[in-house]
Amino acid sequence: MTPSLTRSLLTERHRPTLERATSALRERGHWSAYSDNPRDYAREEGAAAFDSLTGRRFELDQPGTGDWVGAEVSPYGPTLGISYPRPDPEVLLPAMRAALPAWRDAGPEVRALVCVEILTRLAARTAELAHAVMHTTGQGYAMALQAGGPNALDRGLEAVASALVEQTRHPAATEWTRPRGRHEPLRVTSTLTPAPRGVALLVGCRTFPTWNGYPGLFASLATGNPVLVKPHPRAVLPLALTVATAREALAEAGFDPQLVALAAEGDGEHSARTLALREDVRIIDFTGSAAFGDWLEENAGQARVYTEKSGVNTVLLDSTGDYRGLLANLAFSLSLYSGQMCTTPQNLLIPRDGIETDEGPKGFDEVVSDLAGAVDGLLGDDRRAAGLLGAVADPGVLSRIAAAEETGEVALTSREFAHPEFPEGRVRTPLLVRLDARQPGVERTLLAEWFGPVSFAVAVDSTAEALALLRRTLRERGALTVLGHTTSEEVENELVAVCLDERAQLSLNLTGGVYVNQTAAFADYHGSGGNPAGNAALVDGAFVATRFHWAQVRRPA
Amino acid sequence: MTPSLTRSLLTERHRPTLERATSALRERGHWSAYSDNPRDYAREEGAAAFDSLTGRRFELDQPGTGDWVGAEVSPYGPTLGISYPRPDPEVLLPAMRAALPAWRDAGPEVRALVCVEILTRLAARTAELAHAVMHTTGQGYAMALQAGGPNALDRGLEAVASALVEQTRHPAATEWTRPRGRHEPLRVTSTLTPAPRGVALLVGCRTFPTWNGYPGLFASLATGNPVLVKPHPRAVLPLALTVATAREALAEAGFDPQLVALAAEGDGEHSARTLALREDVRIIDFTGSAAFGDWLEENAGQARVYTEKSGVNTVLLDSTGDYRGLLANLAFSLSLYSGQMCTTPQNLLIPRDGIETDEGPKGFDEVVSDLAGAVDGLLGDDRRAAGLLGAVADPGVLSRIAAAEETGEVALTSREFAHPEFPEGRVRTPLLVRLDARQPGVERTLLAEWFGPVSFAVAVDSTAEALALLRRTLRERGALTVLGHTTSEEVENELVAVCLDERAQLSLNLTGGVYVNQTAAFADYHGSGGNPAGNAALVDGAFVATRFHWAQVRRPA
């Protein structure tokens, strides 16, 4: 049967996108293939599509389907009532392995084109995906749409383009001619083929199933590896939609849909722990807790393991030329999605003697209360606040807030209020606690990750002490982000040196519409892979180059 | 003090080499920066330089030098009598770490230029290095010169060029401008800096200290990491010369010579085992036994570990259009350096009904005796044979030959004879043993690596059985090389498929002057990194991209 998606059709449709993506990778300026303006998407149609998925089975027609599982409850209240196939890995994984050779033999260009086709189809389902992300992660609708849709697709496309560049570094066939004086030259022809490692396992996370999942999914697929997607049991739908879309596109392009499959699991089953150790799982992508990420890195020796784990993100305040801008920018970063981002600042280090600003010197107390005020102002209107904060995904966050309140003096109370639209939604505003670096034992608090809307305003003796604490935090716990505010060239140089030494991503003096907890595909690296917060960066050369091996066949010419 | 090697001087000298190397990487045709014609080098001067090093201390002026150690004995007989500084890692490693920031801040271009300066200085010492390699590894002079000198330098340059390409994928500074309709666009400037991981440990091997050592050494150094070189205690001198040369060049270029240091050890000390687990060792390159390589991969979790371990190399004979060429080519591959190459063929799979050739059908017995005859012919003259075979490096090889003789019927006896020039040298010709794949328990023999001049001519039922045994061997033990001889397109396709599936490097129908156990830098990958014989390939993108991390600093424009 001739596939309906032929190579020439795919080339016509997607070659320009791939070329643009490849040049964006090189230039690293602003570029996005997908609009992230919510007004460009039909919210109501997305809601209807989402509604039609709830309360029923999500069919995927995978081999080895055993029972059906599903326990998703929206952080906004409603139970989703969707059940997904739970596969028997002894049946599904061999089927996935069997799909590999034809996909490998199609070559990097065709794989990239098919991947872009999948991304394009996902883009067409953006509003539907937005609802799925919203009602599994608790993100507000606008954020669920942007981060869960176009921004995630951009990261996926970045991975596809990176993989294509890496696999086409040199020709697929070469000639080698070595002169030998009066003798005939030696001549060899070679084929150089990217040979995939084998089945990749994607272990999805609760808070950003698509944004954190697409890079690994598409990097593995574009380099020839089948991908088994094991979503977080409370955030299955966004990845199930992704898998279904990928399977359709693969089949229409003439490939085995088993190249992408879903491994749903029962609640509390922890199937990632057994899947990850299977000899036939050769790649693992994971976003989540340091404990499980460390376990994977230590135990899944048969696989290449890519982790983004928890870190402790620091803000260092030394001085600023735009005090109001600093407060507004930081207040937004603390509030967005109730701090449930791996990039949300946690420890705000402020000299106890205060900081220099364009409004004159500001004491420690003043800075803390001004920041608390800025958050209060930002979240003054419940409807607007609810959209920004979203809902708390994991009830564990609530007890973490309670525990954090006990660590010091509360400077800003975490407020709970009824979501205007979803009265059952768990909405919480940021908590800000005052600590002093001199307090005995305070390191225990500061060197732990308090995932959720928890931040500490920490009085330090000096900027030098803040730099030392930053260095220690980065070395021992790692970080996804560091933010610094200073007008001093010397302090800036020291901040840069610490972040280079400890391989952390630094943002300086953000006072406008760019936030420390957001990165842009094609321009910004997310994580570095070089500190304890994770061993992978989105999307650097190592992220794709390590997912395949070069297989060479030499023949005398 | 102004360094005598300025950036402009280095640029003038080495920029053209780097450019040529970079284009060679892309094209993957024949190219070498260094002549490997022994006649281009002054053998006697090299011998004199080597002699002047023996019987004394090898001074390196490293911090933390404790006692002096050394127990090198040439496989050709003479004791070298050289002692090397054994460092205290508690002193040396902090000094190396302290050297990192300035080397990092110099940037990828300067690092690459300095690396080429080091390679150029090593090239000027080629004849001296050749003697050092010869009298530690047991290689014949010509091979020690070629493989230990120019071919090793080529691999080093390949690593430098790859590292430069990887670190200059995009500009070091970028601008990001996001339009926002009627609002001012968002503008961010970024710096993107390759941030090295930390101290790299190179664990050298006995048989190819420079060829197997230079890729990791130069890949780490070019990406900003200081390198601690821990040579095999019986093959220190080639790497000590390398370290001394690197330190001189680094110092003259204004960098801290501690960026490259030697960690000699006492005999039986096994210092790699403790160094490898140090928290400040962040990269490890290792060539050697599967046992220690596996141990490193499993235990040195704080480091990125690059291994080339032992494998089992297979030759599959199905049919040939040049029987004499096949025999001559294979006889050479079995004989070169007495089979002490990780790339030497071990299991020769031959259908028991024989093979089709241009000289008509040849039975199994005939093929085996013809191959034995070809080896005998090649090694008929003792002087020539001694040059080709070299000496046996590790006495363990001798007992391995004895054990192999017990596994089946000896088709070609491993002959011992006095080296014409060095009567104490251990010279051994290849052993060829006949086995049958039907023999019970024969897999134990075939699936073990018999490092040294040991090969098995294995009768198999059919080419199909040979392919199955090849696949099993690759999957369970891995291989650095696979050689196939066939005139059948179908068999060729099946061979290619097996090697792609198991990620092994395949050579087909070699009958002339290209040998399965030799690879050329810039054109051929050595290993794939994707089968159990090792996790690294020389030199693919993964080999360099994983040695540094991108550190980004964002600033609002």
Q: Taking a C-beta distance cutoff of 8 angstroms, is the pair B203, B230 a contact?
A: yes
Q: How many whole angstroms separate alpha carbon B271 and alpha carbon B236?
A: 14
Residue B186 is assigned to a structural domain of this protein: no
A523–B176 CB contact, under 8 Å: yes
- Residue type for B394, please? D
Q: Which B residues 25-54 touch A at CB under 8 Å? A: 25-30
CB contacts, 8 Å: A545 with chain B = 540-542, 545-546
B297–A298 CB contact, under 8 Å: no
| A106 part of contact set with chain B, CB < 8 Å | no
A134 with A196, same domain: the answer is yes
User: For the segment B68-80, what is each residue's pLDDT rounded down to a tens digit?
Assistant: 999 999 999 999 9
Residue A267: its pLDDT value, please? Answer: 81
Residue A9 is assigned to a structural domain of this protein: no
Give the strand pairing for A482-485 and A454-460. Answer: unpaired
Residue B76 is assigned to a structural domain of this protein: yes
Residue A350 is assigned to a structural domain of this protein: yes
- Residue type for B464, please? A
Instruction: For an interface test with B, give the residue of A180, A552, A555 to mutate (most B CBs within 10 A).
Output: A552
A509–B546 CB contact, under 8 Å: no
Residue A531 is assigned to a structural domain of this protein: no
Answer whether the bond into residue A539 is a cis peptide, omega within 30°: yes
A438 with A299, same domain: the answer is no
Q: What is the CATH number of the domain that holds B58?
A: 3.40.605.10
Q: What angle do CA B497, B502, B507 make, to 5 degrees?
A: 60
Q: Residue B367: helix, strand or coil by DSSP?
A: helix
Q: What is the CATH number of the domain that holds A504?
A: 3.40.309.10
DSSP state of A547: T
CA distance A536 to chain B (A): 9
User: For the segment A191-238, what is each residue's pLDDT rounded down to a tens digit?
Assistant: 999 999 999 999 999 999 999 999 999 999 999 999 999 999 999 999
Q: What angle do CA A161, A530, A137 make, to 5 degrees?
A: 65
| A14 part of contact set with chain B, CB < 8 Å | no
- For chain A, 557 residues long, give each residue's pLDDT as a single digit of tens: 578 999 999 999 999 999 999 999 999 999 999 999 999 999 999 999 999 999 999 999 999 998 999 999 999 999 999 999 999 999 999 999 999 999 999 999 999 999 999 999 999 999 999 999 999 999 999 999 999 999 999 999 999 999 999 999 999 999 999 999 899 999 999 999 999 999 999 999 999 999 999 999 999 999 999 999 999 999 999 999 999 999 999 999 999 999 999 999 988 899 999 999 999 999 999 999 999 999 999 999 999 999 999 899 999 999 999 999 999 999 999 999 999 999 999 999 999 999 999 999 999 999 999 999 999 999 999 999 999 999 999 989 999 999 999 999 999 999 998 899 999 998 999 999 999 999 999 999 999 999 999 999 999 999 999 999 999 999 999 999 999 999 999 999 999 999 999 999 999 999 999 999 999 999 999 999 999 999 999 999 999 999 999 999 999 99
CB contacts, 8 Å: B171 with chain A = 27-28
CB contacts, 8 Å: A190 with chain B = 28, 523-524
A135 with A269, same domain: the answer is yes
Q: Among B177, B528, B541, whose Cβ lies nearest the Cβ of A551?
A: B528
Instruction: For an interface test with B, give the residue of A22, A31, A168, A188 to mutate (most B CBs within 10 A).
Output: A188
A368 with A396, same domain: the answer is yes
B348 with B388, same domain: the answer is yes
Q: How many whole angstroms separate alpha carbon A178 and alpha carbon A173?
A: 17
Q: Among B540, B546, B551, whose Cβ lies nearest the Cβ of A528?
A: B551
B285 with B325, same domain: the answer is no
DSSP element (H, E) containing A202: strand A199-203
Torsion of CA A168, A170, A173, A176, to 10 degrees: -170
Beta bridge partners of B456: B347, B433
A195 with A210, same domain: the answer is yes
Q: Which A residues 127-166 touch B at CB under 8 Å? A: 166
Q: Is the per-residue pLDDT at B225 higher than 90?
A: yes
Q: Among A176, A504, A549, whose Cβ lies nearest the Cβ of B523?
A: A176
pLDDT band at B411 (very low <50, low <70, confident <90, very high): very high
CB contacts, 8 Å: A104 with chain B = 500
B551–A506 CB contact, under 8 Å: yes
Q: Among A29, A174, A550, whose Cβ lies nearest the Cβ of B29?
A: A174
CA distance A551 to chain B (A): 6
Q: Average pLDDT of B360-364?
A: 98
Residue B149: its pLDDT value, please? Answer: 98
Q: Which A residues 284-343 touch B at CB under 8 Å? A: 297-298, 301
- In the A/B pair of chains, how many CB contacts fall below 8 A? 200
B291 with B324, same domain: the answer is no
Residue B3: its pLDDT value, please? Answer: 85
| A182 part of contact set with chain B, CB < 8 Å | no
Residue B378: its pLDDT value, please? Answer: 97
Locate the chain A residue with the closest alpha carbon to B173.
Answer: A28
CB contacts, 8 Å: B186 with chain A = 512-514
Q: Which of B548, B551, B549, B547 is nearest to B202 (CA)?
A: B547
Residue A268: its pLDDT value, please? Answer: 86
CB contacts, 8 Å: A30 with chain B = 176-178
Q: Is the per-residue pLDDT at B307 higher than 80?
A: yes
Instruction: For an interface test with B, give the residue of A186, A550, A555 to mutate (most B CBs within 10 A).
Output: A550
Q: Among B27, B180, B525, whose Cβ lies nearest the Cβ of A550?
A: B525
- Residue type for B452, please? G
Beta bridge partners of B189: B175, B555
Locate the chain B residue with the closest alpha carbon to A509.
Answer: B555
Q: Average pLDDT of B149-156?
A: 98
- Report the greatest alpha carbon distance in chain A: 89
CA distance B71 to chain A (A): 36
A321 with A460, same domain: the answer is yes
Q: Which of A69, A507, A549, A86 is nearest to B502 (CA)?
A: A549
Residue-wise DSSP of A235-248: S-HHHHHHHHHHHH
Residue A430: its pLDDT value, please? Answer: 98
A422 with A462, same domain: the answer is yes
Residue A1: its pLDDT value, please? Answer: 59
Torsion of CA A174, A180, A183, A188, to 10 degrees: -20
pTM of the model: 0.97
Residue B517 is assigned to a structural domain of this protein: no
CB contacts, 8 Å: B176 with chain A = 28-30, 520, 523-524
B30–A176 CB contact, under 8 Å: yes
CA distance B69 to chain A (A): 34
Q: Average pLDDT of B474-486?
A: 98
Number of domains in chain A: 2
Q: What are the Cα distances from residue A271, in Å, to A231, A379, A394, A456, B155?
A: 10, 40, 20, 36, 44
| B546 part of contact set with chain A, CB < 8 Å | yes
CA distance B56 to chain A (A): 40
Q: Average pLDDT of B384-409?
A: 95
Q: Among B29, B537, B554, whose Cβ lies nearest the Cβ of A175?
A: B29
Residue A276 is assigned to a structural domain of this protein: yes
A299 with A366, same domain: the answer is no
- Quick one: what percent of chain B has pLDDT higher than 70? 100
Q: Residue A133: helix, strand or coil by DSSP?
A: helix
Q: Taking a C-beta distance cutoff of 8 angstroms, is the pair B148, B137 a contact?
A: yes
pLDDT band at B1 (very low <50, low <70, confident <90, very high): low
Q: How many whole angstroms separate alpha carbon B225 and alpha carbon B228?
A: 10
Instruction: For an interface test with A, give the residue of B500, B518, B535 to mutate (most A CBs within 10 A).
Output: B500
A241 with A134, same domain: the answer is yes
Q: Taking a C-beta distance cutoff of 8 angstroms, is the pair A458, A411 a contact?
A: no
CB contacts, 8 Å: B177 with chain A = 29-30
| B175 part of contact set with chain A, CB < 8 Å | yes
CB contacts, 8 Å: B504 with chain A = 551
Residue A2: its pLDDT value, please? Answer: 73
Its ipTM equals 0.97
| B503 part of contact set with chain A, CB < 8 Å | yes
**Domain range enclosing A363:** 314-508
| B501 part of contact set with chain A, CB < 8 Å | yes
Q: Among A166, A499, A503, whose Cβ lies nearest the Cβ of B541?
A: A166
B549–A540 CB contact, under 8 Å: yes
Q: How many CA atoms does the CB half-sphere of A422 hold within 13 Å? A: 22
| B497 part of contact set with chain A, CB < 8 Å | yes
